[in-house]
Amino acid sequence: MTTIQRDTERLYLDYAATWPMRPEVWEAMGAELRHGFNPASAHRPGRRAHRCLELARGRIGELLGCERSCLFFTGGGTQSDNLAILGFVRSHQDLSPRVFVSEIEHKACLEAAERGEAEGARAYRIPVDGSGALDLEWLRRELEADPAAPTLISVMWANNEIGTVQSMDDIVALGHEYGALVHTDAVQALGKVEVDLERTPVDLLSATAHKLGGPVGIGLLYRRPGVTLEPLSYGGGQERSMWPGTQNPIGATGFATALALAIGDRESKVARWTALRDHLEARLIAEIPDARIHGREAPLRLPNLVSVGIPGCDSGAVLVSLDFEGIAASGGSACGSDSSVGSGVLDAIGIAGDAPYAAVRFSFGHETSLADIDRAADAIARVAARVVALTA
């Protein structure tokens, strides 16, 4: 019987789930700890906290290419997505609004659209091809069917499970041609692809700090001027008297610092990550029989994410074995980590069936090295061979 030695040196390759807090973020937040008062208060400590909150808002606006008045802090990405979709539905509730979400959206958007449908909206799912790219001709036909209806298109800028990056310029142009608003969940895109709200004029954008090396529990929603959303809560001193969210100056400082670090020197980081991604994919294909890289045919993909499918394996067994070897990876979305449920994203791109099929996502960050990638490739090749043998 083979004896497996547990590796005590952990290798973290799950940055797409959450990005460990950057030391610079800790330092920036620590400098504000003694000023952590209520920014809505009129006294001097409250005014100091309010100034801190607005400085962070202004810094984020500069980084995204928008006015700070368009940014609203929330409790995270899910709350921001919910606010964009349900806020739109409820502000047009008497007009039978339409909501289009792609088949590979995050659950925060898919389930918000379902909730909107229960409240009188018409919800549609935009099909994707085998790489995860949207079928824009299908979307055009549906938009043409009822051009007078209030319409929201909600599409992830970059997919969190397989890394497909959508052509947001084309999606925005198409939506605006038919008078639709466009919302994007940019949680995974920020820091990896160019997100400039002047160049790509989406109407609503969601983000969260912990995917950038910032704190958990603070996100934001960008709302273009003129866009009307119904609040989701009332009477609780919500963000700028309009939104369910947070008025946390310390968290906002952490968000702004993390975003600046993520966007700074992006091109050189993307080049390094792309080389690491391509190296890992080449090794996986060479060393694991019938391995499949999900989304590899997409015109544009995230540079720091690899999703590999391994026939004949159970996802849970592979992930547990990798963890036993000291490697933190995931099966896809961190919000759907129960491997018994399966992945709606893989179903949408045509990977389905009753046979065992493991999906493993590796995602890396600023500290990931080539040696780390080789260690991960060695480990998953061993693990796959072992799990296939046990499953057979």
Helix (DSSP H) and strand (DSSP E) numbers for the chain: 11, 12
CB count, 10 Å around CB of 234? 7
DSSP 8-state class, residue 299: S
Pairing type for strands 219-223 and 71-74 reads antiparallel
- 219 near 75, Cβ under 8 Å? yes
Burial (CB count within 10 angstroms: exposed 0-12, middle 13-18, buried 19+), residue 300? middle
What's the rounded Cα separation, in Å, for the pair 45 and 36?
8
Question: Strands 11-12 and 71-74: what pairing?
Answer: unpaired
CB 356 within 8 A of CB 136: no
Burial 367-386 (b: 16+ CB within 10 A, else e): ebeeebbebbbebbbebbeb
Contact 125, 180 (CB under 8 A): no
User: Cβ neighbours of residue 330 under 8 Å, at least 6 residues apart?
Assistant: 14, 16, 17, 319, 337, 360, 361, 363
141 Cβ partners below 8 Å, 6+ apart? Answer: none
Residue 313 appears among annotated catalytic residues? no
**Element spanning 123, H or E:** strand 122-126
Q: For residues 308 and 360, is the Cβ–Cβ distance under 8 A? A: yes
- Which of the following is catalytic: 52, 66, 109, 335? 335
CA-to-CA dists, residue 38 to 44, 227, 258, 283, angstroms? 10, 28, 22, 52
List the catalytic residues: 335
